[in-house]
Amino acid sequence: MKDWTLGNFPLALRVVFTSFLLTIGVGLMMAGAQIMMTHGMADGKVGLSLDDIVYSYYGNKTGSKIEGKLNGSMQAMAPDEVRLDIIKWARAGAPEADWEPKYKAVFAQYCAICHSAEQTALPNFTQYDNVKHVTETDEGASFSSLTRVSHIHLFGISFIFMFVGMIFAFARFNQTWKIVLIITPFAFLIIDVLSWWLTKLMPEFAWFTIIGGFGYSVASGIMLFTSLAQMWLPRFRDTTA
Ligand code: HEC
């Protein structure tokens, strides 16, 4: 009787497992790309950094988005006196009374070339409401969006880890490390989700988001590659029985 290791599984099972693992692999890369494109740009710079996570969950309570941008990537878009004037208006709560007589024209002159209806990806600054929105203090993620994302994340991703772990359970691997690797993604998933909530309250916890995400990516990566290798490399096949 052959032992129950991946190399000895019937072809059809290995094909199912392989298809699943490859799809998950592509999915993980897409998830990574999506994180880079949403959270990764939160501080206005390309690439995921601690600041991105702090901005995404805790927010940037010292100022509004427009102030941050006008001192950052939008600095070159208007002369200093115009920038400072917009910042002053934003700090005063961007009163609508000043929009028609003054700021509508300012935004039209300096910002609307890019921030107008035709450039749909950017907020349209020909409309007061959109300008108002970026002048509000950035409170980070809302509690309602956190509860929604948390439960989707926990339910959805734990299924992925269960199947990856179940397949890997049949790999030839040091028993202790096998158990550690199977538990790790679940543990780090909980750390990751908890860290969003903690970061919302205290920005220092952003580290846990990075550690959590890194931890389960590495653990599932090892399980994924080990399982794929053992299903298809001839030396993991038991030819004696
Ligand atoms: C040459 C084109 C261009 C001009 C002119 C321009 N912007 Fe931008 N703006 C961008 C681009 C591209 C982005 C997205 C990249 C980024 O956030 O740096 C952006 C992003 C922003 C954001 C962040 C929007 C969001 O929701 O993330 C704000 C706020 C902003 N601009 C304000 C302004 C203001 C105020 C002016 C006028 C003084 C202005 N911009 C002029 C191209 C422009």
Compute the distance between CA of residue 72 and CA of residue 93 in angstroms, rounded to an integer. Answer: 20
Q: Which residue has the higher pLDDT, 21 or 32?
A: 21
Residue type, 202: M
What is the CA(199)–ligand 1 centre distance, in A? Answer: 27
8 A C-beta contact, residue 224 and residue 24: yes
Specify whether 132 is located in the same domain as 144: no
In this structure, is the dihedral angle defined by the CA atoms of residues 164, 170, 174 and 180, taken in order, positive or negative?
positive
In a domain, 212, yes or no: yes
| Residues 204-217 pLDDT 10s | 888 888 888 888 88
Q: Please, which residues have CB within 8 angstroms of residue 202's CB and are 6 or more apart in sequence?
A: 58
**Total domains, the chain:** 2
What is the CA(180)–ligand 1 centre distance, in A? Answer: 47
| Least confident range of 6-10, 61-65, 77-81 | 61-65
pTM, rounded to two decimals? 0.62
Specify whether 41 is located in the same domain as 116: no
Q: Which span out of 25-39, 87-101, 117-131 was modeled with the highest average pLDDT?
A: 87-101
Q: Which of 151, 155, 125, 172 is nearest to 5 (CA)?
A: 172
Percent of the chain past pLDDT 70, that is, above it, reads 91
| Residues 82-116 pLDDT 10s | 999 999 999 888 999 999 999 999 999 999 988 98
pLDDT score for 37: 72
Mean pLDDT value across residues 66-77: 88
- Say if ligand 1 is within 6 A of residue 228 CB: no
In a domain, 133, yes or no: yes
What is the CA(224)–ligand 1 centre distance, in A? Answer: 41
Q: Which residue has the higher pLDDT, 18 or 35?
A: 18
Residue after which a domain boundary falls, among 93, 117, 138: 138
In a domain, 2, yes or no: no
CA angle 240, 234, 179 (to 5 degrees): 90
C-alpha separations of 92 from 84, 89, 106, 107, 239 in Å: 12, 5, 17, 17, 78
Range of the domain at 114: 62-138
Residue after which a domain boundary falls, among 107, 138, 169: 138
